[in-house]
Structure 1
Amino acid sequence: MKRASYAESERICEATFAKGCPWWHLYTPGIDTSLLFADAEDFRYAINLLARCHKDIGTVIIVAFEIMSNHIHLVVSGNEDDIRRFFDLFRRRLKWYLASKGRKESIRRFTMSLKPIKDLRTLRNTIVYVNRNGYVADPDRTPYSDPWGTGRFY
């Protein structure tokens, strides 16, 4: 099988991007937000919660994510209303989880911002940004070794 040229691969990527659902950078504020994920158990819960909410909503595609101690970043594709339902479900279940552990952290400031991604270049840059977010906060969390994000898979 002949390998596609770079130009042909780019045309395929552009066509795939254009045919897909809208793309978004979903993020929550890291400033003035309480510590939400304090240990490995919390981070594992957050990753599993992403998967459960993805399954329950069923129409949101998660392309990249990074779980930080007090906020999250995701690159997602789907209908805006479905993405909002996805985040609302994630937030409700996170609130329940924190309460079940007797933690009083407020998630009042854990609110979603949703930035549209309009072109393939911005999609690529946003994926890189999300995957580097842990490293920017803590250089020991490289995109290749950080277990709380998708960086090592790119």
Structure 2
Amino acid sequence: MKSFAELESTCSLSFDQSGPFYHLWTPEDHPMIFSNTDLFRAGMSIMAICALLVPQARIITFELMSNHLHITAAGSEIIIMRMFGLFKKYLSRYLKHLGLAVDLSGFVPQLRVINSLQDLRNVITYNNRNGYVVNSDYTPFSYPWGANSYYFNPSAKCSFKESVEKLFRNDRRDLIRSHDSDQLSPIVTVDGYACPMSFCDIALGERMFRCASHYFREVSRNIESQKKIAEAIGERIFYSDDELFSIVLSISNEKYKQPRPSLLPSQAKRDMAIHLHNEYNAGNKQIMRMLKLDLSVVNALFPERY
């Protein structure tokens, strides 16, 4: 078994040899784009076509949300922006073909260069957390609209290897309303859309982590790093109850020397509620659950969330 230092050195070498890396995102306050499952499926397949048309831009991971997206990619800034430009163009054509009046003028990407191995780890996990922290029905391994579910997940990779379904030339023409992808080979699909294993360099993304357990710790416990990324790019970040409770427990222990937050004095609970609201975007019902406060008390503190 390799030592910690050896594993970390291997990760660092992969980072140094494979960059530059970028985080691309679009505004989270954009009007809804993917309003149903069929549109998400189309978005996934259009992303695949664009990635394969611009292979110099290697997508490490990405997630489509209902109104915005995140992409972590290796390649030059120009190449990555070219790939996104194709995605926006083809998506716009597809939506117009369906008769959907979705204005994509505000669907404008921002790009940030990733400066270190830990920065890349943080961005990958930020991307892969996005869907499940917004929707509690999912986990980082089950949110379907991105590459997240394939990270260190042998069963998901098996579904890709065993799939016999593909996007053929005419399927691609229907999606992008163009012959631009005619030269591409058929694209493997799973569950009715292009499988991320067929167009993302997930193996490269996995090499940035020492092992599967290291990745899982980063996804589930590195909360402060996720908060910093959200602040840097102007997004709100949401936390699951488990994540928020770990924050509450830490504050309760460190600031009040009380290992049971529910036993804090009333004023301490109010102070912590304000901190959770302002610093961690906690919802009123989350604060109620974390601190065992009456919901009417929390609603009085934060009526805009009521």
> TM-score by structure 2 length?
0.48
Alpha-carbon distance in structure 1 between the residues aligned to 2:39 and 2:112? 26
Q: Which residue of 2 aligns with 1:150?
A: 147
Q: Deviations over 1:71-121 (max 9, x none)?
A: 001110101110111011000001001101100110011010111111110
Deviation digits for residues 106-149 of structure 1 (CA, Å, limit 9, x no counterpart): 00110101111111101111111111111222111321111112
AA at the equivalent of 1:66: E
- Which residue does the alignment assign to 1:21? 19
Equivalent residue number for residue 42 of structure 2: 45
1:75 matched residue in structure 2 = 72
Among 120, 123, 134, the alignment partner of 2:120 is 123
Write the mapping of 1:47-126 to structure 2, written as runs, cut at 5 A: 47-126=44-123
> Residue 63 of structure 2 aligns to a residue in which SS?
strand
Amino acid at match of 2:80: I
Q: 1: distance between equivalents of 2:40 and 2:4?
A: 38
Displacement of 1:36 after TM fit? 0.6
3-state SS of 2:71 partner: strand
Aligned to 2:223: none
For 1:21 and 1:145, the matched residues in 2 are separated by 28
Structure whose CA Rg is larger: 2
Where does structure 1 differ by over 6 angstroms across 4 or more consecutive aligned residues?
Answer: none
Count of residues paired in the alignment: 151
Aligned partner (choices 122, 131, 135) of residue 134 of structure 1: 131
Q: Distance in 2 between matches of 1:24 and 1:77?
A: 6
| One-letter amino acid of the counterpart of residue 109, structure 1 | G
CA positional deviation for 1:150: 2.1
The 2-side partners of 1:111 and 1:59 are apart by 21
Q: Which moved more, 1:98-107 or 1:3-12?
A: 3-12
The structure in which a higher percent of residues are helix is 2
Percent sequence identity over matched residues? 38
Instruction: Give distance in 1, aligned partners of 2:67 and 2:94.
Output: 15
Q: Secondary structure at the match of 1:88?
A: helix
Runs of 5+ consecutive residues of structure 1 not aligned to the other structure: none
43-52 vs 86-95, which deviates more?
43-52
Q: Shift of residue 21 of structure 1?
A: 2.4
* CA distance in structure 2 between the aligned counterparts of 1:92 and 1:152, rounded to whole angstroms: 27
**Residue among 5, 17, 30 paired with 2:3:** 5
Which gives a bigger RCO, structure 1 or 2 (Cα 8 Å, sep 6+)? 1
RMSD: 1.0
Secondary structure in 2 matching 1:7: helix
Q: 1:35 aligns with which of 32, 37, 50?
A: 32
Separation of aligned partners in 2, 1:37 and 1:101: 13
Deviates more, 1:89-98 or 1:37-46: 37-46
2:133 aligned partner, one-letter code: V
Counterpart Cα distance in 1 of 2:79 and 2:146? 22
TM-score (ref. length: structure 1): 0.94
